[in-house]
Every structure is written in structure tokens, then in C-alpha cells.
Amino acid sequence: MVQFRVIVTLIGLICVFFSFTTYATEHPVYQRTNQEEQSNSQVYIVHCEYPDGDRNTGYQDLDSWYLSFLPATTSDSAREAPRLIYSYRNVLTGFAAKLSPDDLKEMEKMDGFISAHPERLLDLYTTHSVSFFGLHQNMGFWNDSNYGKGVIIGVIDSGIFPDHPSFSDDGMPPPPAKWKGQCEFNVTKCNNKLIGARYFQSSGNGTPWDENGHGTHTASTAAGRFVPGANIFGNANGTAVGVAPLAHIAVYKVCSALTCSESDTLAAMDMAIDDGVDVLSLSLGRLTNNFYQDNIALGAFSAMEKGVFVSCAAGNSGPSSFSTSNEAPWILTVGASTIDRKIKATAVLGNNQELDGESAFQPSDFPPTLLPLAYPGSSASDSNAKYCTPASLSNVNVVGKVVLCEVGITARVDKGKAVKAAGGAAMILMNTESMANTTLAEAHVLPVTHISYADGLKVKEYINSTLIPTATIEFKGTIIGDDRAPVVAGFSSRGPNFASPGILKPDIIGPGVNILAAWHISLENNTNTNSTFNMISGTSMSCPHLSGVAALLKSAHPDWSPAAIKSAIMTTADVLNLGSSLIEDETYLPADVFATGAGHVNPSKANDPGLIYDIEPSDYAPYLCGLNYTDRQVGIILQRKANCSEITSIREGQLNYPSFSIQVRVNPTAQVYSRTVTNVGQANSTYIVEIDSPPGLDVKVEPTTLVFSEVKQKLSYQVTFTPLATRPNTTFNQGSIRWISDKHIVRSPIAVRFFSS
């Protein structure tokens, strides 16, 4: 299974936005030397025991404790002295240091040392999306939640462009008194909207300035102000706004234009907790096999203990199974889906076929005249020719032609650059089979339409049917009203949960395809000017949507815990699309629960969920022991000594989670789990259970009725999952449990996985 997980990691690179390596710069908050890199030294993240065994005692001199683990400076001038880079105070008990293999061997002998591993690289995984999921100005949930007023969202990303109108503080209240953060721009750029901006060691040019646009885009998606007239090349025109426009933003730059480092990300989470954020938004991550070696999970656990809600991207490694990142149950793991807006561009073939695709670049002067149609992939001598690489196009005459190119090898916009440089007039971009119908509207440099895989096969078939194939592209602009939406994006990572199979992941899906949000870097077809908005796609875009929703819920319900907010989001999620059919995946077949999680976020319903499934931080210790982690491994997560022999361990399915993930093995027996719900609706309310049993599994709930007489009252129920004698011929199936009252439907999805051995 681990081997399969590695394969999934490699496959997933096809949809990852950025890939990173690490290097060092100076940072004013942490003292460090700027010595020359040595080939035998690298940054390690070191876990050690808290000085007196329990971090709750508040040991003051952590820096001295951490420094005591560093071996004495060597007399060998050819080696760099070990140096401390970050001292972590909240996210874990430990530090980041530059060490040689010899340094590490010495450290391993010391009392209190637990483990060390080289830091890993992390991948970085709007005008209409907020109205798409039901947020409307001056009414409903936006009004009820005060647009997120008083809540601080910490965005850990590639920095921010502070001068963008999305971050204006006109009419914004000052930050809450608890705020302790800083603004590290060279000049005064922060205000009552952007209340903090920090940068970290490997993040680039020594300021929180965003070098690639990603952080600016995600921050404005979560909490950007109302900006009228937002568009991309005149398309998707409207008023841009983030999900929580009155929430405060604090930005922590951990990614440069090239790299995101694990030690920087941990340091940012550590600092954000101290600064006083309410919500953490991380559109980055990597695949991991367990939680005690997943540093985002460790940081998120500490944040959750302090009441901070953590929202993370599921990853862009779909549609492969077991491809989700950020799988810990104390994290909201967010997949990506489409909205009901398309920027339509239609390929018109010489046989009168019309194939709809998308492009953000929509030239008004492209002639309707049919042009010669070329497919470089017809060349048997160059296997990469179908990808329209510059080298392959040098051997093909595409001057004045429409060129069919396939997605792969090079970036999609770069293919257009290569076609344009070779003299091509336009490009039809054909999807991969795995991405199927997930098409993207991007800022191309020439007339383009990005079409589905099936339509790409039709273009190939037409080319092979005639001696003189021709085509053109008709640009039809912004079209709103796709009843299929939301559709799960092909790139959106899928479960099952690898690190904890008994917890369903992802948790939720949200808008992540063709999202228009703040930008400040020139787009490819107009290099002389900056662009104020751009349209990009990924779970990086869906994550800040849910971070914004969490901020709205935190503002409306300040007493709700992170688990309560997550429960409200999950149990009220939509499972039907705008056409009242089941939500589909990229193939236009009904999406399974490992693609959608609980479903598509419905913020207004989440504001009034009726019942919530709450989890206390202390509830995770029995769960972690139940994963068969060692005492030391559990202690790494809890940041205190753990003794699982003194803890009544629970199976994963017993955690009070708002969903169920059941595994049925050979010679199965019934599995019994309990859940406790808290009434946050009407004081006097009655809920009756409705069960949709997955094929091959009998589901019984006792009691079948829950009668509440007061708000915040807690009641429990028990679920028995009994495998049927006759197994279905499918590996995965799904169902649900719904508690229904006069005013609420509280839904928990059920995933079941059948093992043959």
C-alpha cells in the first residue's frame, strides 16, 4: 500500500501548480547566521521531549533547551557549524536546525531526543463563486454573520500584494485587542484589513511581498473586499469579493516563487497561533503515511487545541485513489469543484461539428474563416510531438494553422506560446483521459479552446477522415447557468484516507475551478502591464473558500469549537447539483463519497445545522492510541508524555466524527459505533433517523428518535454496521444516516470499503 501511495504521489505531479526546492535568506524575527551552504549539511526538523515532560507547565527558556541539543562547533573548518533556524513553541516540541550527518549522530545520543528528519518540500496546491453557493449582499447568512467581522484569518502561502483594492480597509474596524502580530513590509502597507504580514527564511526577497500571485489570490478569495468591475480580459465581469469580506487578514509568507519549505511552514503556524488568528488557511501540503511525521498535522493539532480552525487543501493529485493530503481528523480537508460559470470557446470543425471548450483569452477580432488544422502528434518519429513542445514544433509546419495539442509534459499556456512562436494561428487544447471533462479558462497568448478528452478524440477522428482538415474557434464569452455544477474537478484528490482509513476524507468540496480573484502580476499575453485579477484552478482555490466560510461561522457563533464548525459545514452539505441530480465527477458520472466527502458546502445551511458533532481535544488521545501508534509517537502529536496502556483506546470509527468510513474484511463481524450530537437548533425539537444503507451492509440505528428539550443538550445514538452474506461486486459503496426534524436535515455520509483478503 505504501508503494501505491508513492506511485500516486508521482502521478499527482501532473496537476500540482508549483514544485519546490529550498534555500536560505535572512529573517528579522529569528536570529541566524548566513553561512555558506555545505554539501553535507541540510535542514532537519528535530522532535524532542519537553524539558519537564509536559508543555502545559509553560517552561520559559525553550531556546536554551533546544540549543543544548546542538553538538559543539567542530574544529574542522571544512564543515559548517550546526545552527538553530527555528525554535517551535506551539506546533511541536522541537526545532529546525542545519545539521550534518555527524551532527545528527551526536544528537541521537542525547537524553530527550526523539527523532529528526530532513525537511521536505510542500506543494502549493472571486466574482461569482460566493453567489454560486448562496451568499448575497445585505441579506441572509452574510448579514447574520456580519460578513466575518472581528475574525482573523491567517493565510499561510506565498505572501501578498498589499496595494490591491481587495485589501482596502475602508470601513473596516480595527483588529481585535488580542491581536499580537506584526507587519514586516519595508514601508507601512498593513491596515485594518491586512493587519499582519510576515515572511520566513526560504520565502524569497526578504519581505512578505507575493512573487507569484498565489498568496494574493487565496487571501482575496477568503476575505477580499468588494471590488466592482473585476474581470479577466473583459470576461467574468462583476464585483469581486471574498467569502468573509469584513474578516481581517494576516499573511505568513512561506513560499517563494520556487520553493515552500516544511520548517518555514511550521514556523508560520507557530507564530500565527501566538499572533491570535482564529482561522488558518493552508493551500499547500504533501502526501504522508501517518500523523506523527506530518508536520502540518502536528501544527494543526496545536492550533485546534487553542481554538483555531484549520482549513487545508486536499491536493491536486486526483482522480487517483488514496491521493489526499492533510488527512488528520482535526483538519478540514477541502476538495475542488466547478461553479456554474464558463468562459466559452467553441472549436468549429470543417465537418460542422461544434465542440465547446473554455479560454479566458477571448479575442474579438479572430476571423470565423476555417483555417488548416494540424496535429503534430501524427508524427511517428517524435512521441512528444502531440504535446506541442518547442522542439517538436520545429519539425512541423504550423504557420497560419489551428494546432491540436494534448495536455501533458509542458504547462498548458506554454504550449500556446510554442505554437505562437512557430507561427500557428490558434490552438485546440485536448484534455487527458484522466481529467476528462474538467476544462480550464486560462490566460492564453493566442486564440485557444481547452476541450474535453472525448471531444479531443472527435477532433482526431475528423483529422483522420479527410485530406484537408480545417477548423476555427468561436469565442462566446461568459456563460452562467450550468445545471451540472458543481462537478468534482478531475485534479481534486480522492480518498480513501491513507493515514487513517476509518476517517472519511476529503471532508467537503468547494469552488476550485476557474476562480477569479486578486492578482498583480502580468498575464502572459500582456507582459507590459500588471493584471488586477486572474482566473486559476486547484484545491488551493477551494481551501480559502472554506476558510472564509469558517470565519463567517466563527463570527456568527463565537462559542463554537473548531470541531463544531466542521460538523456544521459537513452535515449540511449539498449532495445534489443545480439540476437536482447527484453531484457528478469529471466523467459526468455520479461522484463517489471519496471524491465529494460530505458534499458541496452550503454556507447558509451551515449557519443553522440543528445538531453538531463536537470533539474535545482530549478525545483524540484514545483515537491516536487506537491507530497503534507508540507512546512516543502519540506524545509527539499531543506534546506531552503519553501512555496508551493507561488510556482506553478507541477504534477510528468511534471518534465523534460527522461521517463514517467502514472497512469490511474477510470473515467480517458487526461493527458498533456511537455518536453524540449537541442540539444547537430549537430547544424543543424531535429528530427521526432515516437510513440509506450502502449495498452489502446493513445499518441499524438505536434509538431511532432523538427528543431534545433544551439548547446545548447532548444525546447519543448507536450505529451497528453488519456486512451482508452476499457481498456486492464493487470495492467501494456509500450511503448515509440522516436525522430529520421539522426544520433540519443532519446528514452523515457512510463510506464502505470491501476487502477480498
Rounded CA-CA distance 371/400 in Å is 7
428: Cβ contacts below 8 Å, ≥ 6 apart: 347, 357, 373, 402, 403, 404, 405, 448, 449, 451, 456, 459, 471, 473
Rounded CA-CA distance 180/112 in Å is 32
Is the Cβ–Cβ distance between 512 and 487 less than 8 Å? no
The bridge status of strand 508-511 relative to strand 402-406 is unpaired
| Closest CA relative to residue 556, chosen from 301, 275, 300, 247 | 247
Sequence-ordered strand ranges (E) for 35-78: 42-48
Burial of 295: CB neighbours in 10 Å, binned 0-12, 13-18, 19+: buried
335: Cβ contacts below 8 Å, ≥ 6 apart: 314, 318, 488, 489, 492, 493, 494, 506, 508, 509, 510, 512, 539, 542, 595, 596, 597
87 bridge partner residues: 95
Rounded CA-CA distance 248/192 in Å is 7
DSSP code for 69: T
717: Cβ contacts below 8 Å, ≥ 6 apart: 674, 675, 677, 689, 701, 702, 703, 706
For 363-384, give one letter per residue: b (16+ CB within 10 A) or e.
beebeeeebbbbbbbeeeebeb
620: Cβ contacts below 8 Å, ≥ 6 apart: 301, 329, 330, 637, 638, 655
Cell numbers 458487526 correspond to 670
Rounded CA-CA distance 568/420 in Å is 50
* E strand or H helix that includes residue 279: strand 279-282
712: Cβ contacts below 8 Å, ≥ 6 apart: 678, 679, 680
Amino acid, single-letter form, for residue 741: S
Is the Cβ–Cβ distance between 612 and 520 less than 8 Å? no
Cell matching residue 106: 551526536
Cell matching residue 518: 486578486
Rounded CA-CA distance 269/88 in Å is 9
Amino acid, single-letter form, for residue 552: L
* DSSP string for 227-285: EEEEEETTEEEEEE--SSTTSEEEEEE-B-SS-BBHHHHHHHHHHHHHHT-SEEEE-EE
Cell numbers 519539425 correspond to 395
| Residue 165, preceding peptide bond in cis (omega within 30° of 0) | no
Rounded CA-CA distance 439/180 in Å is 43
| Closest CA relative to residue 599, chosen from 512, 510, 675, 660 | 510
Cell matching residue 687: 429528530
719: Cβ contacts below 8 Å, ≥ 6 apart: 660, 672, 673, 674, 675, 699, 700, 701, 737
Amino acid, single-letter form, for residue 427: M
Cell matching residue 172: 473596516
Which residues have a catalytic role annotated? 157, 214, 540
The CA-CA-CA angle for residues 349, 354, 358, to 5°, reads 105
729: Cβ contacts below 8 Å, ≥ 6 apart: none
Residues found in the chain = 757
